[in-house]
Chains A and B, each alone.
Chain A
Amino acid sequence: MKVTNSEYACLSSFLIRSLFFGPAIYSILHFALQDGWISIIVSFILSFIPLIIYYKLLNCNPNDNIVSLNNKLGLIGKIINTILTAFVIFHASLILWNLTNFIYSQFLFQTPLIVIAIIISFGIFYISIKNLTTIARTGTVFFIISTILYFIAALSLIGKCDLNGLKPIFNSGIMPILKGSFSSLGLNIFPLFIILIIPKNNIKNNNKIISSFFKVYIFRYLCMLSVLVICVAILGIELTNLYQYPEYHILKTINIANFFQRVESVLSVQWIFDAVMSIALCLYYVKESITKTFNLKNKFNLINIISIISILIIANYIFTSNTVAETFYKNIYPFLTSIFFLIIPLIILIIVKVKKT
């Protein structure tokens, strides 16, 4: 079950971008207004802290993934594992909610939410029952398709950009920018923890991990930055804050030579790919963690079925209305991810280092 280093990097890039279209743009722009791009640059610099923690965890024991690492710590480790698994299920259901809300509000606005979620779950379930090499290869193909669609969208919109829309710079002050960076970190970077499910020895050429990972990481950051800048530059900050999914609405304005128009449905497919792949990765994490922690066998893919049904149920009933959801994503969720995906790994790292000495 080997994965090459470029496939590893592609899989991690999905986790970064899965919550970006929707909650992350919304929270960054609501906190930092038109200085959102500075927020993203600041969060890029700040993101080295969790990345170093994750890299050290990866190197702790090259044969173990994070789950078996925890199991070696005894009973505390098993408790930590169960907590982390539950939170990963929660994270996956949030991504699913975001995707179904997007499809519900823009494409199929008369279909009940639960039906949209069930249909997407079929695709996710099919990916998650395959083994890791298949998931990784599918990730490469989707990464290539996403990149091509992104370039088509960006190149058609760049002619309409008016950088005056980004002014006034530094109007809001430092605190809002930092708040925006924190929510960007919480929603985008901390979920990278889930990629630690692949042990280091299952990666071919694992001395080149850092270089290939960074190439893909910087590329995805530039994508996110450019999407934000294009949104604010074309629509203006007030209008961007008004729309629920501003990056979908600027795709509606593409009109090249009166021929290449009305393409927003096709170009928004890249977000469906991102969300589906990251939920599939979360399910893989859950399957690995339950089988290794409780020593069960995955007969008839029962664990996958149970986890996908629980994700469906949570995603359907968690938010009573849209406003509740938006406040949750903006204010509460970055704190939750920082606890589970930053502080707990830090604790694990400290315990492991202490045990080694």
Chain B
Amino acid sequence: MNKELDKIIKHIKDMNGNSSDINVRYFNIHKEKVAFMFLESVANDDKISNFLGKSLSISVRSKKNLFENLFDSINNTIPNSKVKIIDNYDDIFYHLASGFTCVFVDGYNKAITLETKALLDRSVTEATSEPVLKGPKDCFIENILANMGLIRKRIKDPNLYFEETKVGRRTKTKVVIGYIKDIADEEKVNLLKKKLEKINIDGIIDSNYIKELLTDNQKSFLPRVISTERPDLTAMGLLDGKIAIIVENTPYVLLLPTVFADFFNSTEDYYTKPFNASFTRILRYIAFFIAILVPPFYIAVTTFNMEIVPSSLLISFSIQRESVPFPTIIEVLILVISYEILREADTRKPQIMGASISIVGALILGEAAVSAGVISPIVVIVISISAVSGMGFNDPDITNAIRIWRILFMLAACLFGIVGIVILFIIFITKLNSIEVLGTPYLAPLSPFSLKDFKNSLTRFPQQKIKTRPTYFNKKNINRIGSDK
């Protein structure tokens, strides 16, 4: 950096093409030129006048210099909590864009920066995409410090480490990794840090970019990373041994490593009675398999393996099939595609409460189509059951994965019946088993079978009985109840 003030300021203005939001103010203190610069769009005017004005006026007024030079004296008298000294242009611009104010003194090639950020985010409000009946309702916002605060106030352990990096060449987004030091696995944390360092992309807009870049070596339709808006879910995950990734400017926090069973748990389970929670969890698993397997099973049973259906039901099915001109697979595909179009159209509407209207609309559409003789009534019922079962999850990634697997199973069923479904099921299970997120097998606790972890995954036992953390995440500090081992 140059030593002369004018050259510094000219350089910075040229770097930014003389943007309209750069503001510079010049001072004269004891005949030395001092200037401070800030970007009006991100810096808060009041704070600047509060801090800088006061400190510089103090410097002006005091006759005695306690320090040798003006630079140090300004540095030591600014009543602001975050003050840094920077000596290269890239860092200066980074801090300017983050809302800091830079103070330059003529003749020194360093600059003092202090934080004066304007509040451009919303305040902590109720969660919109993961609603909960009984439990805390606050959710993350776009401010990374506020997010860290929401976690920190829930876990007051000194072992909760937050480590920060910057990712993205142009956006230079702050990414913070949070974990509890003596619960989370060291290897996983180091692996994650190495992966983050390897990311070489120009911009990170949302945490989903990081999600993709971390897991792009294994292709799978099912999600492998939880992204949540709720701080209580994050805190529970951290206590279990997971690692949280908080990204600036997005309210979605990533939790790694995840297993398949995590997508079927919701925080609601911990805020109600354990028996109800177990019942609901088992219901969710059944709903997942119903959503994937019922339309293919219907196709297989009515075209290849009719001996599964009792006689009276079979006769009633065949009566309904009489009035339809298409083969079964085309019928089912028509309904599935129209349902997906309806669902997509519904989510783009600005109001999220419109989901129920769409389902009713689909049913009425089904009724009209049945009367016109295009599809048979039983297919409407089958697709409605499958669609409604597929919507009971709080992560839209699972719903999207369900619809792809459902279509694949339908194709397998229409080619070979039950045998086709079985073979594709074998391929499905193998695919799930080959996924490993940061070294944790995806189908734990089912696949490396451990009976004690079932207490918190398939069912939820009372809190007194869940004595250990999940063994597939970590091996140290296993005990939850009683003292740490």
In the complex they form, do A and B come into direct contact, defined as C-beta atoms under 8 angstroms apart? yes
Residues of A within 8 A of B (CB): 4, 6-7, 103, 107-108, 116, 119-120, 122-123, 126-127, 130-131, 133-134, 137-138, 140-142, 144, 261-263, 265-266, 269, 272-273, 276
Query: B419, A262: Cβ atoms under 8 Å?
Result: no
Alpha-carbon separation in the docked complex, A280 to B378 (Å): 39
Chain A: minimal CB distance from B142 (Å): 40
A126 interface neighbour in B304, B427, B441, B447, Cβ under 8 Å: B427
Chain B: minimal CB distance from A103 (Å): 6
CB-contacts of B397-418 with A (<8 A)? 415-418
29 inter-chain pairs at a CB distance below 8 angstroms, sorted by A residue, are A107-B305, A107-B417, A107-B419, A108-B304, A119-B415, A119-B419, A123-B423, A123-B424, A126-B430, A127-B427, A127-B430, A131-B434, A133-B441, A137-B441, A137-B447, A138-B433, A140-B446, A140-B447, A141-B429, A142-B426, A142-B429, A262-B307, A262-B310, A263-B308, A265-B307, A265-B308, A266-B308, A272-B422, A273-B426
Alpha-carbon separation in the docked complex, A174 to B310 (Å): 46
Chain B interface bracket (under 10, 10 to 19, 20 to 34, 35 or more): 20 to 34
Residue numbers in B under 8 Å from A133 (CB-CB): 441
Alpha-carbon separation in the docked complex, A134 to B423 (Å): 17
Report the nearest A residue to B448, measured CB to CB.
A4
Contact A6-B449, Cβ < 8 Å, known A107-B305, A119-B420, A265-B418: yes
CB-contacts of B270-322 with A (<8 A)? 304-305, 307-310
Query: B448, A140: Cβ atoms under 8 Å?
Result: yes
Chain A: minimal CB distance from B242 (Å): 21
Query: B422, A138: Cβ atoms under 8 Å?
Result: no
Chain A: minimal CB distance from B471 (Å): 12
Query: A272, B441: Cβ atoms under 8 Å?
Result: no
Q: Is B443 an interface residue (CB 8 A)?
A: yes
Contact A138-B419, Cβ < 8 Å, known A4-B448, A108-B304: no
Max chain A C-beta neighbours (<10 A), residue from B305, B310, B420, B434: B434
Report the nearest A residue to B427, measured CB to CB.
A126
Bits for B423-442, please: 1 = Cβ < 8 Å to A, else 0. 11011011001100000010
Query: B310, A261: Cβ atoms under 8 Å?
Result: yes
Query: B446, A141: Cβ atoms under 8 Å?
Result: yes
Query: B448, A262: Cβ atoms under 8 Å?
Result: no
Query: B433, A107: Cβ atoms under 8 Å?
Result: no
Query: B433, A272: Cβ atoms under 8 Å?
Result: no
B426 interface neighbour in A144, A261, A263, A276, Cβ under 8 Å: A276
Query: B449, A262: Cβ atoms under 8 Å?
Result: no
Query: A141, B310: Cβ atoms under 8 Å?
Result: no
Contact A107-B443, Cβ < 8 Å, known A123-B426, A262-B308: no
Residue numbers in B under 8 Å from A263 (CB-CB): 308
Max chain B C-beta neighbours (<10 A), residue from A7, A133, A137: A137
10 new A-B pairs (CB below 8 Å) besides A130-B430, A137-B443? A6-B449, A108-B304, A108-B417, A120-B423, A122-B427, A127-B427, A137-B448, A138-B430, A263-B308, A266-B418
Alpha-carbon separation in the docked complex, A7 to B449 (Å): 8
Contact A108-B434, Cβ < 8 Å, known A138-B429, A266-B308: no
Chain A: minimal CB distance from B209 (Å): 29
Alpha-carbon separation in the docked complex, A103 to B422 (Å): 12
B416 interface neighbour in A119, A137, A138, A141, Cβ under 8 Å: A119
Alpha-carbon separation in the docked complex, A258 to B429 (Å): 33
Query: A123, B429: Cβ atoms under 8 Å?
Result: no
Bits for B355-393, please: 1 = Cβ < 8 Å to A, else 0. 000000000000000000000000000000000000000
Residue numbers in B under 8 Å from A269 (CB-CB): 418, 422
Residue numbers in A under 8 Å from B418 (CB-CB): 107, 265-266, 269
Max chain A C-beta neighbours (<10 A), residue from B307, B422, B424: B422
Residue numbers in B under 8 Å from A126 (CB-CB): 426-427, 430
Chain B: minimal CB distance from A349 (Å): 32
CB-contacts of B240-281 with A (<8 A)? none
Alpha-carbon separation in the docked complex, A142 to B308 (Å): 23
Query: A134, B449: Cβ atoms under 8 Å?
Result: no
Chain B: minimal CB distance from A108 (Å): 7
Alpha-carbon separation in the docked complex, A144 to B309 (Å): 27
Alpha-carbon separation in the docked complex, A2 to B107 (Å): 65
Query: A108, B419: Cβ atoms under 8 Å?
Result: yes
Chain A: minimal CB distance from B285 (Å): 14
Residue numbers in B under 8 Å from A272 (CB-CB): 419, 422
Query: A123, B448: Cβ atoms under 8 Å?
Result: no
Chain A: minimal CB distance from B68 (Å): 65
Alpha-carbon separation in the docked complex, A137 to B441 (Å): 9
Query: B308, A127: Cβ atoms under 8 Å?
Result: no
Residue numbers in A under 8 Å from B307 (CB-CB): 262, 265
Chain A: minimal CB distance from B40 (Å): 57
Listed from nearest, the 5 A-B pairs whose CB atoms lie closest are: A137-B447, A123-B423, A137-B433, A134-B434, A123-B426
Alpha-carbon separation in the docked complex, A126 to B424 (Å): 10
Max chain A C-beta neighbours (<10 A), residue from B307, B310, B419, B424: B419
Alpha-carbon separation in the docked complex, A64 to B448 (Å): 24
Contact A130-B434, Cβ < 8 Å, known A266-B308, A276-B426: yes
Report the nearest A residue to B305, measured CB to CB.
A265
Alpha-carbon separation in the docked complex, A280 to B429 (Å): 14
Chain B: minimal CB distance from A150 (Å): 16
Alpha-carbon separation in the docked complex, A6 to B446 (Å): 12
Chain B: minimal CB distance from A265 (Å): 5
Alpha-carbon separation in the docked complex, A133 to B435 (Å): 11
Chain B: minimal CB distance from A119 (Å): 6
Alpha-carbon separation in the docked complex, A276 to B425 (Å): 12
Query: A103, B419: Cβ atoms under 8 Å?
Result: yes
Contact A123-B427, Cβ < 8 Å, known A141-B443, A265-B308, A272-B422: yes
Residue numbers in A under 8 Å from B441 (CB-CB): 133, 137
Residue numbers in A under 8 Å from B304 (CB-CB): 107-108
Chain B: minimal CB distance from A143 (Å): 9
Chain A: minimal CB distance from B188 (Å): 17
Alpha-carbon separation in the docked complex, A138 to B420 (Å): 18
Residue numbers in B under 8 Å from A130 (CB-CB): 430, 433-434
Report the nearest A residue to B412, measured CB to CB.
A119
Chain B: minimal CB distance from A170 (Å): 40
Chain B: minimal CB distance from A159 (Å): 21
Alpha-carbon separation in the docked complex, A38 to B418 (Å): 36
Query: A119, B423: Cβ atoms under 8 Å?
Result: yes
Report the nearest A residue to B442, measured CB to CB.
A137
Query: B427, A108: Cβ atoms under 8 Å?
Result: no
Residue numbers in A under 8 Å from B420 (CB-CB): 119
Report the nearest B residue to A143, measured CB to CB.
B449
Residue numbers in B under 8 Å from A261 (CB-CB): 310
Report the nearest A residue to B435, measured CB to CB.
A134
Query: B447, A141: Cβ atoms under 8 Å?
Result: yes
Max chain A C-beta neighbours (<10 A), residue from B416, B420, B443: B416
